[in-house]
Structure 1
Amino acid sequence: MKSKLKQLLAPKFTRRDFVKSSSALGSLAAVAGSMSLPFKSNPALAASEPASPQSEEKVVWSACTVNCGSRCPLRMHVADGEIKWVETDNTGDDTYGSHQIRACLRGRSMRRRVYNPDRLKYPMKRVGKRGEGKFKRITWEEAYDDIANSLNRIRKEYGSEAIYLNYGTGTLGGTVTKSWPPGGTLIARLMNLTGGYLNHYGDYSTAQIAAGLNYTYGGWANNNSFSDLENTKLIVQFGNNPAETRMSGGGLIHHLMESKARSNARMIMIDPRYTDTAGGREDQWIPIRPGTDAALVAAIAHVLITENMVDQPFLDTYCVGYDAKTLPASAPANSDYKSYILGQGEDGIEKTPQWASPITGIPVDIIVKLAREIGQAKPCAIFQGWGLQRTANGELASRAIAMLALLTGNVGINGGGTGARESDYNIPFVRFPIPENPVKTAISMFLWTDAIIRGPEMTATRDGVRGKDKLDVPIKFIWNYAGNCLVNQHSDINRTHEILQDDKACEMIVVIDNHMTSSAKYADIVLPDLTTSEQADFCMDGKAANMPYFIYADKAIEPQFESKGIYEICTELAKRLGVEQAFTEGRDQEGWLRHLYQLTREKDPSLPDFETVRKQGIVKRRDPNGHYVAYKAFREDPLNNPLSTPSGKIEIYSERLAEIAKEWELPEGDVIHPLPIYASTAEGWDDPARSQFPLQLTGFHYKSRCHSTYGNVDILKEAARQEMWINPMDADSRGIKNGDLIRIFNDRGEVHINAKVTPRMMPGVVALGEGAWYAPDGKKVDHGGCINVLTTQRPSPLAKGNPQHTNLVEVQLVQKA
């Protein structure tokens, strides 16, 4: 590790240094990111400053509220109005089941986010082209007036459907400050009081699985908690990597490994990359080509069926469409799942392991052995992560994996599961009230760029528009609060750049954030938001298996520079829009916190009072049932506890999907099907385009950041470098050695980044951690390692979601390009 990392571990940095880092900008136009890093030790500066007596240190409970699955408590040690250092939860006896909620290194580096050189310090207005990052300083009053005037003008000219709240997950779990779901935010409250806005459905994390398994289980599909794995015999994880995606204080990786140790269950990991969750903890790693999980499942199903390992009574009682006995009357003959597997369906192909092997890249004997293990283990827990559904056929893949739980009758029992991602027990909490949106129209969260350039052309049957047959107007105003999906986290950045450059198309973009992100550089108005450390809020919804908790994150320091919180921002805009009283209902931010907590305590009187919670910082519970078991009541009594599917049962064959498949207009190659079948896709393993771009590119959540949050903290970037993972065979054939600077490219863009040559990546597939900050050089080449320079904006068939793990690329040494 470089000496710089050692310097950063013990920085001599004060708030005065932080203030000085931006004083030269004044009211002049500023180019974002031009400030030097203020964390460097500067002995000369320190010696020139007069010594001041240290004030008494106080400890204030705060939190990290990023979108990692946890909400982690942070104990801020504050002196002289400055956060000196950060520790994490110190409550309880720290035995498993009442363990401490320990933040990871990201949360513990919160001080470096608060005092970051990229920190937004005052309102700014764009003076250059969008994306250049050139702004001038303006007053808050000027910013409020510009935004209010723009809202009023656009509503008058185009209607409320032209206003859009973009997806953002920079701050989650709060009551006042949360940015997700956008429809539950204070901006949504303000917009709904003044005419509404164009809504969206789905999200960048789970669009395809949410849509797909909705047709199987009805609504959001739950699974058993990881804590319940102490009751299982076999754990099979498809693309699930909690050691990196759930590494934080909620402790899901801790629950997984503690429960596995108690049950002594075998764990099989199916993933193109040997992940940190495997990392010596697994009993078997099975590499698989991206986008082919449904083919593997079909071959496993073939073994289970032909070797009589299916749970026929379960399938007959609880499911629709496994075989002819439970097939809906509207379905054609031989359109059941069993017929599809045995080659008696419409395609006439028997889904044997020999058929699946060349598709998946998995040897036949491994498929057969895996199938027999799943069929013979009683009970067996099947889980899937969200990465594999973030593909061009993700809806089919997510439904297919659930079939393994259904065929073996493992749903609704301890030690079993549903094939979805792990679920948790949570403490109910009353949320900020949001008035009904007068605008009933919604688009997929992934198609907002299309809605800018071809809004009135977008229809229900071609583009998934909901609430009406087509959009009437394009998007003209975008709110982007605590999110980086305007650019960095949205696919095909070069296409997005071209769309946003035209300020006659989308006429106003308002970004509210802590830092000058890639998205903020495309704003017309930038507003500096408070960090969690500078305001108070309740923080909940942490993924924590059977040990839920919530945090009271108090105000640790005063707002830095001219930053203001989302409640004050919306209140000031409400004044100008004539709805201040309706928006505030006469309460300030703390008044709302007290009010919402009082309503929560009325539903659960066992909770401590407000002042006690504020003092103790965190409230922990245990699941009174021991473990969360999904669909337990349905399994015990399906007649009195039906699912929310049309049949009230688990639908292997979906009549609704059969109708959609007939009615919707789909691009060539896209598939919607009533059964969870396997389908090839554009840019899949068998696409002819592999002759030009032979490598499949997939993404993964990287430990040094949460999506793009913390992506500008140098100490984390240095500890876990952004690199492209490539198998030694693929590297050798290209003359690439570990650490070499490479170019990753396709017809959408190019990225220059260092190579990580490792056998932890299967041949033919490369991987790049998502969330790295986009750093273009003006020639459409990114030097930050941002995967979305390479991803496509072609949506998935059913959810119209983001297929950001379905990409074809080529890789070369930069010097040989």
Structure 2
Amino acid sequence: MKNNDNNTTESKEFSQFTINRRQFLQTGTALVTLPFITSKSIAADTADSKTGLPDLGEEERVVQTCSTFDCGGKCDIRAHVKQGTVVRISSRPEGALDPEMPVMRACVRGRGYRKFVYHPNRLKYPMLRVGKRGEGKFKQISWDDATTLIAEKMKQITAQHGPASRFVHTATGVSGGAFSGNTMVKRLLNLTGGYLRYYHSVSMGNTAAATPYTYGTAASGSSLDTLLDTKLVILWGHNPTETIFGHTNHFYQQMKKNGTRFIVVDPRYSDSAISFADQWIPLLPTTDNALMDAMMYVIVTEGLHDKAFIDRYTLGFDESSMPEGVAENESLISYLTGKKDGVLKTPEWAEKITKVPAQTIRQLARNYATTKPAALIQGWGPQRHNCGERSARGSTLLATITGNVGVKGGWAGGYGGIASRKFMTGVEQGDNPVKARISIMNWMQAVDDASKVRPEDGLKDADKLDTNIKMIFSLAGNYMANQNPDINQAVKLLEDESKVEFIVASDLYLTPSAKYADLLLPETSFMERWNIGETWGTGSYFMLSEKLIEPDFQRRSDYEWLREVAEKLGVEPAFSEGRDEKQWIELIVEQTRLAMPDENLPTFEQLLKQRQHLFKSQPHVAFAKNISDPANHPFPTPSGKIEIFSQRLYDMNNPEIPALSHYVPAHEGPEDALKDKYPLQMITWKGKHRANSTQYANPWLQEVHLQTLWMNPADAERRSLAEGDEVRIYNDRGVSIIPVEITPRVMPGVVAMRAGAWWSPDKDGVDRGGCPNVLTSARITALAKGNSHQTLLVEVKKA
């Protein structure tokens, strides 16, 4: 099956990438017997009568493992391995659950991993581009040629443009593991002069940047076991049922059984609303702060605020608690009562903006203020707007004036990171001689013209960039094109070979981003390499991700070929320290043990048996010490208090980020004049069948949900649209054509599309894959210099 012919091929025709099921079944009887493609020729004269799978004449080994994708669950999957092949995926037995930190059963994504790994369209050989960039034309080359080319290009580009011309793109395909090629390529680059770094998380960077302006830190979250007796939870743009925060859902289910009332605030009636909500309150995207302002107006004017808490712990509530040197009427009370701008922030005022009825706003405010304790938990979706920093701080103000900060059962709002969480030590990357850092949102500017990236645009630790980006490594990442907030702008830059001179992409599939590679490498899946899976969100445990099977064809882990590149650059001993992949995992485990002597962590040998470790810790209430003992534990803000009013933001004098977080009409929001041309607000959400764009190529998971555009019946009627009609979704940035799904689960004036579908342009450049990023904007936020791709206006017509 291995073919070394260096034939020039078109990606749409090349059998490495596009063998369909019918062609696959015609390739030979030796392969037909296997559940999915493998290079091992195994006869199967008999099959197991229960599973229908071939009887391979060997006892099955069941291994507890997890993926290392950017997935919030890190759930327990059990791989059934027989004669070097994973023949089935199951999950932990019912009842095998640690209530202190539950490792959840596999979701639909976890159940589908085998199809993703054993798929005929996976990349098989190293490939060199032979057509224009983006055409997808490649020829097969040897690994020796591939690593020689990388080493030569690194030397050449570094000599000509300097190490700051080298860039490693974001890679969520491996970000759930303690060890990855994405990490190790940074280690190699640091050994050879450094590279241009980026900061900011496209998931939650805006709220992480904004929260410290209230509390002095982003770590504003409590452990979920402190919420079991909470009387009221408001899930504000939070959808854990579909994004699969496994442990989160476990605790929410327990709370529901305990009688907790759930209110969901979201433009869309999500699966989380179905699962938990006693009440759904839809509001127009980007108007969160108007709803928050009106809630605070009701709470304050009806005397429902916690005056004693406010007087003791806060700055900026009223004029008497303002810092010196600030103009009059900048306090929260002055803003709410119209002393600053002449506008009372009443529910009636907010109703016109948000479309939430005034009486609903009043009742929501009263419920939140009078239910003790209560938790307003904001998800990461609302902060992916160009008003996201304001809405993140708005949730902290609501929590503050109701006294829900630092108390068991309350929630401080904002980012929600947990200070008590523990992580593996990871791999030492070494010092980077290049000190400049850009926001991930600046990378296109740095490709096009480095002089466009200034400190006011997001550049940090430098006054200017000395060079454009000339070399890109994209290892297990699809952000370079597909997940970039403006695909059309990104691919125009990537197609121009006078800009980036060399692009290395490594992946499992020919993703839309991988088509723009000059050198395309076949990466191994998590089942074919060693790693440690780590949780994020509210989880606090790790799990061994063992190498279960040998990679087929010429697939190699990124670390393996990086060692070869390091050897050709003369730095292999320093790069690898003589360790193979498994030995690095052993080192990470041992270093973590040394760093946490009180945790009683397992040795690597013990981990091979027990498979996982739960970090045991006491229930954690964010800011509990700051509230119980403020004299010895002041808030880490300039004033030592919770800053409802931020002097630091006030001194910036930027209307996009007011010192007192409040409603400001958003660009491409419901009050933008562009709404006359594009009258519908569009949002995206992360469906349960893929993590970002990972697993899009899995046909099983494509069957879970078709890619459709959700539209309210009232909007569909105005456009004479019927269920299933092909519709043209468009704005000034791009066009996508997919079927429409007419449903009352999205409010009027708003349309919604699942994120992460692969861009599939036709000959006219019109996307046929339902990729929302042909429509989204690359506008950066004012404070974090982060992404605001959820803020966009579109129109929809029948195609």
SS of 1:754's equivalent?
strand
SS of 2:382's equivalent?
coil
Shift of 1:369: 1.0
- Matched residues in 2 for 1:458 and 1:477: separation? 17
2:148 equivalent in structure 1: 145
Counterpart amino acid of residue 220 in structure 1: A
User: Residue by residue, what CA displacement relative to the aligned partner does 1:378-423 show, whole Å, maximum 9, x if unpaired?
Assistant: 1110110111110111111111122110110101111100113555
Q: Show structure 2 runs of 5+ residues with no match.
A: 34-42, 46-55
- Matched residues in 2 for 1:433 and 1:273: separation? 43
Counterpart amino acid of residue 331 in structure 1: V
Question: 1:227 pairs with 222, 225, 228, which one?
Answer: 225
Shift of 1:620: 3.0
1:614 equivalent in structure 2: 608
- Matched residues in 2 for 1:428 and 1:457: separation? 37
1:640 equivalent in structure 2: 632
Counterpart amino acid of residue 19 in structure 2: S
Alignment of 1:500-579 (within 5 A): 500-545=494-539, 548-579=540-571
Question: 2:69 pairs with 66, 70, 74, which one?
Answer: 66
Alignment of 1:386-405 (within 5 A): 386-405=380-399
Question: 2:585 pairs with 571, 587, 593, which one?
Answer: 593
1:340 equivalent in structure 2: 335
- Matched residues in 2 for 1:83 and 1:294: separation? 50
1:109 equivalent in structure 2: 112
SS of 2:187's equivalent?
helix
2:718 equivalent in structure 1: 733
- Matched residues in 2 for 1:403 and 1:178: separation? 41
- Matched residues in 2 for 1:245 and 1:509: separation? 31
Shift of 1:257: 1.7
- Matched residues in 1 for 2:354 and 2:631: separation? 39
| 2:254 is the alignment partner of 1:258 | yes
| 2:323 is the alignment partner of 1:328 | yes
- Matched residues in 2 for 1:680 and 1:543: separation? 30
| 2:671 is the alignment partner of 1:686 | yes
1:746 equivalent in structure 2: 731
8 Å CA contact 1:92–1:98 kept in 2: the answer is no
1:785 equivalent in structure 2: 770
Shift of 1:251: 2.8
8 Å CA contact 2:100–2:225 kept in 1: the answer is no
- Matched residues in 2 for 1:644 and 1:573: separation? 45
1:16 equivalent in structure 2: none
1:488 equivalent in structure 2: 482
Counterpart amino acid of residue 133 in structure 1: G
- Matched residues in 1 for 2:473 and 2:25: separation? 40
Q: 1:618 to 1:310 in 2, by over 3 A?
A: same
Question: 2:657 pairs with 653, 672, 685, which one?
Answer: 672
Question: 1:37 pairs with 20, 30, 39, which one?
Answer: 20
Shift of 1:565: 1.4
1:194 equivalent in structure 2: 192
Shift of 1:580: 1.6
8 Å CA contact 1:322–1:337 kept in 2: the answer is yes
SS of 2:122's equivalent?
coil
Question: 1:717 pairs with 702, 726, 735, which one?
Answer: 702
8 Å CA contact 2:24–2:120 kept in 1: the answer is no
1:445 equivalent in structure 2: 440
- Matched residues in 1 for 2:223 and 2:79: separation? 31
Shift of 1:56: 3.3
Shift of 1:58: 2.2
- Matched residues in 2 for 1:523 and 1:265: separation? 51
| 2:483 is the alignment partner of 1:498 | no
8 Å CA contact 2:213–2:646 kept in 1: the answer is yes
1:3 equivalent in structure 2: none
1:156 equivalent in structure 2: 159
Counterpart amino acid of residue 370 in structure 2: Q
Query: Percent same amino acid among aligned pairs?
Result: 40
1:377 equivalent in structure 2: 371
1:764 equivalent in structure 2: 749
2:38 equivalent in structure 1: none
Give the TM-score normalised by the residue count of structure 1: 0.91
Question: 1:631 pairs with 619, 623, 628, which one?
Answer: 623
8 Å CA contact 1:73–1:618 kept in 2: the answer is no
SS of 2:658's equivalent?
coil
Counterpart amino acid of residue 125 in structure 1: L
Q: 1:344 to 1:174 in 2, by over 3 A?
A: same
Q: CA RMSD in A?
A: 2.2
- Matched residues in 2 for 1:645 and 1:217: separation? 6
Q: Which moved more, 1:102-111 or 1:560-569?
A: 560-569
Q: 1:575 to 1:649 in 2, by over 3 A?
A: farther
- Matched residues in 2 for 1:632 and 1:471: separation? 43
- Matched residues in 2 for 1:689 and 1:675: separation? 27
Counterpart amino acid of residue 616 in structure 1: Q
Counterpart amino acid of residue 601 in structure 1: R
| 2:473 is the alignment partner of 1:479 | yes
Q: 1:433 to 1:531 in 2, by over 3 A?
A: same
8 Å CA contact 2:218–2:416 kept in 1: the answer is no
Q: Figure out how many residues of one structure are paired with residues of the other and give that number.
A: 772
Counterpart amino acid of residue 102 in structure 1: R
- Matched residues in 2 for 1:747 and 1:764: separation? 19
2:203 equivalent in structure 1: 205
Q: Which moved more, 1:512-521 or 1:413-422?
A: 413-422
User: Residue by residue, what CA displacement relative to the aligned partner does 1:301-353 show, whole Å, maximum 9, x if unpaired?
Assistant: 111111111112222322222222332223222212221111122x3322111
8 Å CA contact 1:172–1:178 kept in 2: the answer is no
8 Å CA contact 2:73–2:244 kept in 1: the answer is yes
User: Residue by residue, what CA displacement relative to the aligned partner does 1:627-674 show, whole Å, maximum 9, x if unpaired?
Assistant: 332122222222322333333332222222223336xxxxxxx71221
Q: Which moved more, 1:688-697 or 1:42-51?
A: 42-51
Counterpart amino acid of residue 444 in structure 2: T
8 Å CA contact 1:494–1:780 kept in 2: the answer is no
- Matched residues in 1 for 2:512 and 2:709: separation? 21
| 2:47 is the alignment partner of 1:55 | no
- Matched residues in 2 for 1:278 and 1:783: separation? 30
1:361 equivalent in structure 2: 355
8 Å CA contact 2:128–2:141 kept in 1: the answer is yes
8 Å CA contact 1:62–1:555 kept in 2: the answer is no
Q: 1:703 to 1:280 in 2, by over 3 A?
A: closer
- Matched residues in 2 for 1:556 and 1:370: separation? 51
Counterpart amino acid of residue 326 in structure 2: A
- Matched residues in 1 for 2:579 and 2:98: separation? 41
- Matched residues in 2 for 1:178 and 1:578: separation? 19
User: Residue by residue, what CA displacement relative to the aligned partner does 1:790-812 show, whole Å, maximum 9, x if unpaired?
Assistant: 00112122222111111111111
1:270 equivalent in structure 2: 265
2:793 equivalent in structure 1: 808
| 2:306 is the alignment partner of 1:311 | yes
8 Å CA contact 1:237–1:383 kept in 2: the answer is yes
Q: 1:796 to 1:423 in 2, by over 3 A?
A: closer
Give the TM-score normalised by the residue count of structure 2: 0.93
Q: 1:220 to 1:37 in 2, by over 3 A?
A: farther
8 Å CA contact 2:244–2:688 kept in 1: the answer is no
Q: 1:42 to 1:101 in 2, by over 3 A?
A: same
- Matched residues in 1 for 2:9 and 2:636: separation? 54
- Matched residues in 2 for 1:607 and 1:206: separation? 30
Shift of 1:596: 2.0
Shift of 1:622: 4.2
